[in-house]
């Protein structure tokens, strides 16, 4: 005979496992649609710019199940899907939305992060260079979504209860991220930060660039390079 606590534990595990698997599956499906869209953007925008620029500025690359990238001239947007499902902390603005207040479990979300890097950081293997978190897409069990991000990406809480993620919405998000990155220029480092350099640094600079570069002081990024069969949610 099982106790009441055991029943609660088993029921909680069962319900949350089903919920998180659904969220993971939705997010992974959207990420697959995103990869297709990025490949289409590469072809479409390069065709429109043909003859106007020397080299095709857009280049899509699939890195792994959970990561892909789109090169735009001197920038790279890295799209990374987290393999875990998250709940929001109680101070997050999402809790103010009536959709969240009136529905259980809708705040459990998958996340697709969008980072902006300099293309040269990858080209010259400048592993200490910085990337910047442009925005992140949250997707729940019902395929409802919102975007949290910088400037044009905005905070789109109001439509969380109504907005369903689809190809048109993804295109709008990607175009906004591209526009933001192109408008987000590399700044000259402060003179005081650069006026002293060690012999070791200048010697290393002959082979590679050890001086950290980034558009702004942002977020370091480590890829989740997982390859192989279609993944399933494993918890967390």
**For the whole model, what pTM was predicted?**
0.80
Kindly provide the residue ranges of all beta strands, DSSP E only, lying in the chain, ordered along the sequence.
58-64, 67-72, 75-81, 110-118, 132-139, 145-149
Residue 136's pLDDT is: 92
Tens digits of residue pLDDT in 132-190: 898 999 999 999 999 988 666 655 445 888 899 999 999 999 999 998 888 876 656 66
Tens digits of residue pLDDT in 127-136: 878 888 989 9
Sign of CA dihedral 33, 38, 43, 44: positive
| Residue 1 in tokens | 């005979």
Closest CA to 204 of 149, 130, 144, 126: 126
Residue 8's pLDDT is: 87
* Neighbouring-strand partners of residue 76: 71, 117
pLDDT range class, residue 223, cuts 50, 70, 90: very low
């Amino acid at each position: 005979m099982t106790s009441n606590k055991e029943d609660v534990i088993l029921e909680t595990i069962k319900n949350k496992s089903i919920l998180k698997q659904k969220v993971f599956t939705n997010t992974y499906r959207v990420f697959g649609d995103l990869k297709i869209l990025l490949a289409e953007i590469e072809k479409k925008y390069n065709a429109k710019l043909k003859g106007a620029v020397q080299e095709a500025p857009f280049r899509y690359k699939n890195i792994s199940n959970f990561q892909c990238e789109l090169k735009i001239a001197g920038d790279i947007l890295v799209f990374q899907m987290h393999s875990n499902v998250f709940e929001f902390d109680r101070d997050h603005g999402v809790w103010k939305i009536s959709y969240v207040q009136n529905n259980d479990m809708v705040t459990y979300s998958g996340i697709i992060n969008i980072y902006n890097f300099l293309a040269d950081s990858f080209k010259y293997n400048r592993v200490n260079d910085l990337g910047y978190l442009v925005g992140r897409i949250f997707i729940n069990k019902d395929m409802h979504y919102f975007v949290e991000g910088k400037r044009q990406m905005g905070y789109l809480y109001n439509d969380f209860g109504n907005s369903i993620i689809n190809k048109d919405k993804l295109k709008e998000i990607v175009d906004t991220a591209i526009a933001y990155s192109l408008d987000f220029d590399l700044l000259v480092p402060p003179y005081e930060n650069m006026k002293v350099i060690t012999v070791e640094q200048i010697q290393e600079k002959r082979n590679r660039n050890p001086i950290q570069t980034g558009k702004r002081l942002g977020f370091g990024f480590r890829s989740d390079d997982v390859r192989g069969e279609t993944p399933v949610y494993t918890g967390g």
